[in-house]
C-alpha cells in the first residue's frame, strides 16, 4: 500500500491541504473523469455515506450548485452545498463550499501533462468554524479525517488507473 504525500499547513487562520498524484492517463481522460460530479462517490470512503442530492449532471458547468449528504462521523449526517466557481478545461476547476461544515472551503483541482501521465494536484484551503475552539479540534478530528479521505482517494485512484496495465493475451482455440 502506498502512502499519499499529503501536506497540511496553517497560515493566518486558514489551513491548506495539498496532495499530488501522477496518474498514467491522458489529460482528456483525467478531465472526463474528474469533471463528472458522479465520480466523486467512487473516490470517497463508503463509510461516509456520500450521496449527491441535487439533480444528476453528466459534466460540471460554471456556476453549478451541487448538493451532497455526507456522514463525516458515525450517525452524523451533514448537508453540503458547493458551487463550481472556476473552470479552465482541461487544466483546472475550483469548487467552493456555499453551505456546510466549514467556515470556508476552496478546493482547486489542477491537471498537468508530464512524461509519466497526468500530475494531479488537489489544493484545499479551509477555515474551521468557532475560531480557536474549532481550531482546537483540527489536530484530533479534522486533520485526521481529511488525511484519511485524501489517502483513500489516492489509493482508489491507483486502483482505477493502475500504473501497470495487465497484459491480456488473446486465446485462440484450435491453434
Q: What is the CATH number of the domain that holds 112?
A: 3.30.530.20
Asked, for residue 170, whether it belongs to a domain, the answer is: no
Q: 138 vs 175, which has greater pLDDT?
A: 138
What range defines the domain where residue 37 resides?
A: 6-131+144-160
Lowest-confidence region among 32-36, 106-110, 136-140: 136-140
Average the pLDDT over 25-32 and give the result.
Answer: 97
Asked, for residue 66, whether it belongs to a domain, the answer is: yes
Q: 73 vs 8, which has greater pLDDT?
A: 8
Q: 100 vs 165, which has greater pLDDT?
A: 100
Q: 135 vs 154, which has greater pLDDT?
A: 154
Asked, for residue 108, whether it belongs to a domain, the answer is: yes
Cell (9 digits) for 17 = 491541504
Average the pLDDT over 58-71 and give the result.
Answer: 93
Percent of the residues in the chain that have a pLDDT greater than 70, as a whole number? 91
Asked, for residue 44, whether it belongs to a domain, the answer is: yes
Average the pLDDT over 31-41 and give the result.
Answer: 94
What's the rounded Cα separation, in Å, for the pair 12 and 163? 39
Burial 58-82 (b: 16+ CB within 10 A, else e): eebeeebebbbebebeeeeeeebeb
Confidence of residue 2 (pLDDT cuts 50, 70, 90): low
Asked, for residue 167, whether it belongs to a domain, the answer is: no
Number of domains in the chain: 1
Q: Of 79, 49, 72, nearest to 141 (Cα)? A: 72
Amino acid at each position: 500500500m502506498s502512502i499519499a504525500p499529503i501536506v497540511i499547513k496553517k497560515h493566518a487562520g486558514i489551513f491548506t491541504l495539498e496532495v499530488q498524484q501522477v496518474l498514467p492517463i491522458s489529460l482528456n481522460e483525467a478531465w472526463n473523469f474528474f469533471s463528472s460530479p458522479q465520480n466523486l462517490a467512487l473516490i470517497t470512503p463508503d463509510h461516509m455515506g456520500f450521496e449527491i442530492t441535487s439533480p444528476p449532471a453528466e459534466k460540471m458547468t460554471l456556476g453549478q450548485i451541487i448538493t451532497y449528504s455526507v456522514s463525516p462521523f458515525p450517525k452524523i449526517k451533514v448537508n453540503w452545498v458547493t458551487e463550481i466557481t472556476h473552470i479552465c478545461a482541461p487544466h483546472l476547476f475550483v469548487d467552493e463550499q456555499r453551505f456546510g461544515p466549514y467556515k470556508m472551503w476552496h478546493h482547486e483541482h489542477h491537471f498537468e501533462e508530464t512524461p509519466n501521465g497526468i500530475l494531479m494536484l488537489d489544493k484545499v484551503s479551509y477555515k474551521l468554524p468557532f475560531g480557536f475552539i474549532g481550531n482546537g479540534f483540527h489536530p484530533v478530528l479534522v486533520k485526521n479525517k481529511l488525511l484519511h479521505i485524501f489517502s483513500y482517494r489516492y489509493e482508489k485512484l491507483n486502483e482505477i488507473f493502475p500504473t501497470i496495465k495487465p497484459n491480456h493475451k488473446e486465446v485462440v482455440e484450435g491453434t
